[in-house]
Structure 1
Amino acid sequence: MLKSASSLLAIAALAAVTTVAVSADQPVIGLITKTDTNPFFVKMKEGATEMAKSRGAKLLTAAGKQDGDNAAQVTAIENMMTAGAKTIMITANDSKAIVPAIQKARAKGVMVIALDSPTDPQDATDALFATDNYKAGILIGEYAKAALAGKPAKIVTLDLFPGHPVGAQRHNGFMKGFGLAAPDKSVNTLGTAPEIICQADSYGDQAKGQTAMENCLQKNPDVNLIYTINEPAAAGAYTALKRAGKEKGVVIVSVDGGCAGIRNVKAGIIQATSQQYPLKMAALGVAAGVDYATKGTKVSGYTDTGVTLIADKPMAGVDSKDSKVGESLCWGK
């Protein structure tokens, strides 16, 4: 968990994109995100940019064209090494396929830090700064169980795409929190159960989430609980429900806690979401990169950057904060 709102806001006070002049001894740090359009990664880039400015580092940035674009990330690693980056931070699009490129970088003395998404294996990078995505799933699963109040569950899951560890951890954590038999956090396949009446990939995209939910409603219109990989997918699911006249009485739970997502909690579109803090992930990564460039010290292992359950209707036995708190902290704004 975050130590305090003030500590997050201290990091978040760094908020405008500024170009830093290059000098011969200036640390060069790379940030490679899954895409450059998802608001989660936009916020991550903001945090990295402003921490780099405050620490006198030059930040190089790149992104995949869409979720799952490994080739662009491999090219970005190569380009950043050529440009002199001594630390590269990455949210991997393909947790396995990116590993050979990371190994080449580390063999040449580049420190590689995974943000948000671990590689497979996790120790392919020097360190991981991320939310505990399995715990994030557990929190919304516990909330959903309480919200159904004993009604038989008819669940739709709108997932990321097959084989991605974050998608699996959130999905399986949700199952475990709900009380269904689920794989543990080390397994990158999605658990199944009779209560899950439809399972579809959304790629974390609102339009794809809407289409996936429309397809699920055609297969089985009798749904009372929807789990989504993130809040854009949740917004798409709600649109599909509303167009079908089925939005009432359906509990939607999600993960991310972005400002738009928290507004949807406030509006009653999403009942609960697990909030994480990408600005903090990136800011910590840049600080570690500067320390490596200037002192030769490397970070290692996993740093948990915190998760908070946000819901405006509290459930007995489930610890949560309301949307007012969520708005004050959304992604470290």
Structure 2
Amino acid sequence: MEHIGDMERLHKVFQLLIEIALGNFSYRIERTDKKDELEALTALINIVAEELQSSFLHLGYVSLQESYMQLVHMVFLLDEDYLVVYMNQDVQRFLRLKEDELIHSPFTNIIHEDSLKVWNEQVVHLSNGKAGETELKLDFKNSKGLKHSEYCKVIIFPEDSHSSARLMIITSNVTNNKTRLENKLKQNILQKIHQPATKNERRKEGKFRLEDIKIIRAIGTYIRHHPEKEISSLRELALNFGINEFKLKRGFKATFGMTVFQFLKNERLKNSHLFVRNTQEPFKRIAYQNGFKNASLFTREFRVRYGYTPSDLRKLSQQ
């Protein structure tokens, strides 16, 4: 029986890798209380998926301004008994379920058990005959055994509405807006052609060669992969990568939306957050691996950034 259970866990890892390959980074594997190599692999795959999702959002919001947009994923209409009476086609794609498996079925059938309490507390009590709406995060479960987290807008219809539906649930996420980016780029190019920049504007914008941009991105990648490494000065960092210190300072801020040292601190805290939530590593070790001098400094910086301590996060992740 244990062998069968391990095969099921390994199958979920395989399914998540397929989703990642298809560009779907919002799926996660539910953790177990086991402490074997397969569980360590599960934690690692979850971290990879979350890092990829975070990296794409970072590039969209910082490096490729306005290249991402909110996209509706799933739409549900529920009746007064919370049975699904309508859903859009994307539901089948995200949850890997057929229409006849969902229509006239309880909405709670597709909600992960971790979110049932949230659903019952924040939504069900709103259905008291009055119209209203709320926002919450729900974990859905698909036919492959993966968790799919979505931010939801829940709209409660009044009882006297001319419809059998009483609730509408709309989920959304962030997606690439390639067409909008291309159109904006085209407009900018045409504008520059017809209205060349003045000497002052060119001096203000600065000049960055393609090679400079590649070096700056390489520095960002290096920091992501080595958050434990200290950066003594921008001059030394620029010298090590063969770029002018002034170009590094301005180019890094233009590319990543923050200074080198802000970026380093951000990566350290982000990595620490992932390891606290997804592993059982001691906080002292996590702090050391991510460049914090001691556990006390790590805890203090963590609380300032997230509003709660590493201990609070680990307790919550173990529930």
Shorter chain as normaliser: what TM range?
under 0.3
Larger Rg: 2
Q: TM-score, normalised by structure 1?
A: 0.22
Q: More helix by proportion, 1 or 2?
A: 2
